[in-house]
Amino acid sequence: MKNLLKVCAIVVVSTFSFSSVAYNTEGKVETEVKQQANSETNNCPAFLNHTVRKLNSKKSVDICQQFAGKTFLIVNTASNCGYTPQFKQLEALHQEYKEQGLVILGFPSDNFFQEEDQEKDTAKVCFVNYGVTFPMFNTIEVRGSDAHPIFAHLGEQTASPYWNFYKYLVSSDGKTIQRFSSKVEPQSDELIKAIQAQL
């Protein structure tokens, strides 16, 4: 009987120890994953640490988590503007430099009353008419008191957009922000030289 009790005690202690080891290992793995995520987020400008809904979609993108360490070209867009054909050049820029670390982020805005009322129509202009494949997000405010925090920061550091298709080139650490007006075409020598200097 005593021997049987000893065997039971050994089994119980062994099971408890195994469970403890398994728990601690899982906790360690979880901690390592969190540390890695924090490290990636830290390698991204703080003002871009936002989750933004994709254009005409229920899905959202955590900008810093997905694009940490990249150089950003942030553009406020519109579907019915004289500069709307710049989508074609922006897409060409995206295709040429995406492998080198450039990320183009498009933010439709109706601040200048040239955006579609429905996101599905905005999406048609971007994705169907111009074949855009770089990230496009839901319609936002880009200037004034209701400006999205991303554009509020860009406005504070440089100036708010005066019209559609203003372009903000942001270094991977966020310390350098260059602002280009609507008149500066995406494939202009001026913008391309600035992009190449950041990559």
Q: Using CA atoms in the order 122, 126, 127, 129, what is the torsion angle rounded to 10 degrees?
A: 100
Burial of residue 74 (number of CB atoms within 10 Å: 0-12, 13-18, 19+): buried
Angle 161-63-131 (CA atoms, 0-180°, nearest 5)? 70
> What residues pair up with 75 in beta bridges, in sequence order?
106, 167
Catalytic option among 8, 44, 81, 126: 81
**Is 81 in the active site?**
yes
Which helix (DSSP H) or strand (DSSP E) does residue 38 occupy? helix 2-42
Give catalytic residues, as residue numbers.
81
